[in-house]
Structure 1
Amino acid sequence: MAQAMGTAPAGASSSGTSVTLIADSQNGKLPSSSNTRITSLEQKAAPAQTPKALETPIALTSFKATLETAGSTETFSL
């Protein structure tokens, strides 16, 4: 099950907030049949030139994942 979760630690960005990304969750839990894998999860500080109207409480978060079937879609939750 852990292959469908990724965590970026607090301090990885200037926000000081850690995040956990879950793929293929149902009611916040991973199904045992999930073959989706989060291969990277990264938090970066928001650029200094960010517009004031844009709030970034978890900074900029990016991730990569592999899905069970190429071309399929998946649901991700922070």
Structure 2
Amino acid sequence: MAYQTEQQLEDNLITQLSAQGFEVVSLPDNAALLANLKKQLEKVNGIVLSDTEFTQVLGKLEKGNIFGKAKILRD
């Protein structure tokens, strides 16, 4: 198995996802990351989240491990 750096892995993944039609976005800071998360949650669920509701989502995501957080997002 050939060795690849983490950067190479990420670049390859981005290339594959772009080829499948996913949009590449630039998230230069935490505020942009949170704004994109809110936008994507609203898009997937067909709703508009108030600031209070989004704060509640973030509160739930702060607890637990990565598997628990993924379950919360799926539910």
TM-score (norm 2): 0.20
**Greater share of residues in strand:** 1
Larger radius of gyration, structure 1 or 2? 2
**Greater share of residues in helix:** 2
